[in-house]
Amino acid sequence: MLTDVITLNDGVAPRAYTLVSRNGMDSVRRETTAGVSSASQSALTIKHTLDDKKLTKANRHLVSLSFTEYDTAGIACTTTAHAVITRAKGATDAQVKKQAEMLAEFLGAPANVDQLLIGGN
C-alpha cells in the first residue's frame, strides 16, 4: 500500500499530496503544500481496474495529477496529466517497470513535453 503522504518534485520544489479518501484499491490525495490554495483542487488520483473472473482481460492502473489555475477573468483552467498502465495478466513485473521507466524518462525531458504541447510527433 502506498503511504498516506506522497511527495513529488515538480522540477522546482517538492509537493506533498495527503490521502483524503480510499475506496477499495482506489485513492485520492489532495495537495497540502504550503502556499497552495484549496481552490487549485490539486490532486493525485490512483485507480485500478482488475478483473479476476476474466483471465484474458488486462489489468489497468491509472495515476493522475490535476491542478486548476484561474485566468485573469476568473475562469478555471484545469490541467491533468495521467498515465495508464495496461498489463496482460501474464506480463512480468520487470517488463512493466521497464516500460514505466522509459515513459518517465521521456516525460522527464522538458524538450519532449514542449514538442508534445505543440503537436510534435
What secondary structure, in 3-state letters, does the chain show? Answer: CCCCEEEEECCCCEEEEEEEEEECCEEEEEECCCCCCHHHCCEEEEEEECCCCCCCCCEEEEEEEEEEEECCCCCEEEEEEEEEEEECCCCCHHHHHHHHHHHHHHHCCHHHHHHHHCCCC
pLDDT of residue 16: 97
Say if strands 14-23 and 76-87 run parallel, antiparallel, or are unpaired: unpaired
Higher pLDDT, 56 or 14: 14
Share of the chain above pLDDT 90, in %: 89
pLDDT grade, residue 104 (50/70/90)? very high
| pTM more than 0.95 | no
Instruction: Decide if pLDDT at 56 tops 90.
Output: no
Domain coordinates in residue numbering, the chain = 5-90, 92-121
pLDDT for position 30: 98
Residue 44's pLDDT band, with cuts at 50, 70 and 90, is: very high
5-90: CATH topology: MS2 Viral Coat Protein (3.30.380)
Mean pLDDT of the region 91-98: 96
